[in-house]
């Protein structure tokens, strides 16, 4: 039996932000980070809501913590918005979701992603950091009412952000495709998202802005897939390593994904092979298709000028060795582990950590 539910209205294309004016808001709160406050986009978005009264909450920092969410919650309680617009990447969207959740606000929630990666605009999750650990908050009420995918916001994406968030899409699609909750509908979304992101990321990274909307849509489709199917060990480890070492989330996925393919390959090799063939990576025999998929991911990582291990990402190998027990425990306790196609053993997690640590 497969159940599929989305419930978020998706408005997509150049100029889609204009649809904010259709929501009839009286009091709008725009939640964003300093980048969009300083470049004036947040104010422009607030004005597009048509609300008589609007405010900005623009303190969001990457990987938002509980303190920030608490400050934002107090702001929602004070201001009493009837519309909350989250403008930014996964961090701004997750912080805004937590603010709405903890304040008990009944405001309409609109997510406007400015990165193409997290998929938070269609998911029931918000990831909050606390004391060096990333905690996924999961609740149906966290799912945005509206997601606006406006290509006009993507023209000036920095290359490193295209690479990092791009590997988040690939990891979402690949993990959702192999997850225990996968079904025919999530498979279709994950497969299409993986193929589009894999094909278009090099051009986007090289500066071709015409492909960015399809990568943006791929991020949302991968989000719809993993919101229903679940994720896996790559994300469980990306969460625990991200909490401990503050490397961008998508960059951690890029480092981890090939090692996780090896770990899960014996159980879901046929699914990886299907995905490889769909992406044009050939291989009539599953083992060859899987090898091609892994090689393609490693090559793409190089094309996008990404690190191959934690040491290259600036994490001291000695520190990884020192924290590896705690990192492994946090990964094994992460909800993403529950939908990994095989139940990972502690030894398997340790082996992946050893593989990705690198040399100082
Ligand atoms: N809720 C979910 O379902 C979900 C899923 C995956 C990841 N996440 C979370 O999302 C976060 C990562 O999100 P992200 O990768 O979107 O990055 P991010 O939101 O952390 O943003 C990274 C940086 O990019 C800047 N930025 C954003 N858009 C920009 C643009 N258009 N131009 C220039 N700079 C821009 C931001 O100002 C910020 O400094 C992590 O905390 C991760 O845990 C959440
Ligand atoms: Fe992710």
> What distance in angstroms lies between residue 91's CA and the mean position of ligand 1's atoms?
5
Which one of 3.40.50.1970, 3.40.190.10, 3.40.50.720, 1.10.1660.10 gives the CATH number of domain 9-153?
A: 3.40.50.1970
> What distance in angstroms lies between residue 192's CA and the mean position of ligand 1's atoms?
22
Region of poorest pLDDT, from 124-133, 176-185, 187-196, 224-233: 124-133
Report pTM. Answer: 0.96
Structure tokens at 142: 């966290």
Is the model's pLDDT at 132 over the cut of 90?
Answer: no
Question: Among 126, 151, 145, 146, which Cα is nearest to 136's?
Answer: 126
Residue 180 near residue 154, CB atoms below 8 Å = no
Give the residue whose CA is nearest to atom 20 of ligand 1: 62
Protein residues with CB under 6 Å of any ligand 1 atom:
33, 35, 62-63, 88-92, 94, 114-115, 117-120, 123, 125-127, 153, 156-158, 161, 164-165, 168, 249-250
> What distance in angstroms lies between residue 138's CA and the mean position of ligand 2's atoms?
14
Rounded Cα distance between 302 and 298, Å, is 7
Mean pLDDT of the region 148-156: 95
Ligand 1 atom showing the smallest separation from residue 35 Cα = 37
**Candidate of 249, 256, 339 to mutate for ligand 1, largest count of ligand atoms within 8 Å of Cβ:** 249
* Per-residue pLDDT at 360: 74
* Per-residue pLDDT at 131: 86
Burial 133-169, CB ≥16 within 10 A → b, else e:
bbbbbeeeebbbebbbbbbebbeebeeebbbbbbbbb
* Per-residue pLDDT at 116: 98
> What distance in angstroms lies between residue 55's CA and the mean position of ligand 2's atoms?
29
Predicted confidence (pLDDT) per residue in 283-293, tens digit = 889 999 999 99
Rounded Cα distance between 13 and 341, Å, is 35
Rounded Cα distance between 242 and 248, Å, is 7
> What distance in angstroms lies between residue 230's CA and the mean position of ligand 2's atoms?
11
Show me where the domains of the chain are located.
9-153, 159-357
* Per-residue pLDDT at 2: 87
Region of poorest pLDDT, from 8-17, 63-72, 132-141, 312-321: 132-141
Q: In the structure, what pLDDT confidence band is assigned to residue 263 with cuts at 50, 70 and 90?
A: very high
Is the model's pLDDT at 1 over the cut of 90?
Answer: no
| CATH superfamily ID and name for 159-357 | Dehydroquinate synthase-like - alpha domain (1.20.1090.10)
* Per-residue pLDDT at 8: 97
């Amino acid at each position: 039996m497969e159940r599929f539910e989305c419930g978020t209205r998706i408005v997509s294309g150049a100029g889609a932000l204009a649809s904010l004016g259709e929501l009839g808001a009286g009091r709008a709160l725009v939640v964003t980070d300093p980048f969009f406050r300083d470049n004036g986009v947040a104010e422009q978005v607030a004005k597009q809501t048509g609300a008589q009264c609007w405010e900005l909450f623009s303190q969001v920092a990457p990987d938002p913590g509980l303190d920030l969410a608490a400050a934002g919650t107090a702001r929602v309680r004070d201001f009493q918005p009837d519309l909350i617009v989250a403008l930014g990447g996964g961090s701004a969207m997750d912080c805004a979701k937590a603010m709405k959740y903890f304040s008990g606000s009944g405001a309409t929630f609109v997510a406007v992603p400015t990165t193409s990666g997290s998929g938070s605009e269609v998911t029931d999750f918000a990831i909050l950091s606390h004391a060096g650990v990333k905690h996924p908050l999961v609740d149906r009420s966290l799912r945005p009412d509206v997601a606006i995918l406006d290509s006009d916001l993507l023209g000036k994406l920095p290359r490193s952000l295209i690479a990092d968030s791009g590997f988040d899409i690939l990891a979402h699609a690949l993990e959702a495709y192999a997850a225990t909750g996968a079904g025919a509908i999530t498979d279709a979304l994950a497969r299409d998202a993986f193929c589009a992101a894999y094909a278009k990321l090099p051009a986007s990274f090289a500066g071709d802005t015409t492909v960015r909307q399809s990568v943006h849509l791929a991020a949302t489709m991968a989000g719809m897939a993993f919101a229903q199917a679940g994720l896996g060990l790559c994300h469980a480890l990306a969460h625990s390593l991200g909490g401990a070492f503050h490397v961008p989330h998508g960059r951690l996925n890029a480092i981890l994904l090939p090692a996780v393919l090896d770990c899960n390959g014996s159980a879901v090799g046929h699914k990886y092979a299907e995905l490889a063939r769909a992406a044009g990576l050939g291989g009539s025999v599953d083992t060859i298709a899987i090898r091609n998929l892994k090689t393609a991911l490693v090559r793409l990582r190089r094309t996008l000028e990404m690190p191959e291990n934690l040491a290259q990402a600036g994490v001291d190998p000695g520190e990884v060795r020192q924290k590896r027990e705690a990192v492994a425990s946090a990964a094994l306790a992460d909800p993403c582990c529950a939908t990994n196609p095989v139940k990972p053993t502690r030894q398997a997690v340790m082996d992946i950590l050893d593989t990705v640590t690198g040399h100082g």
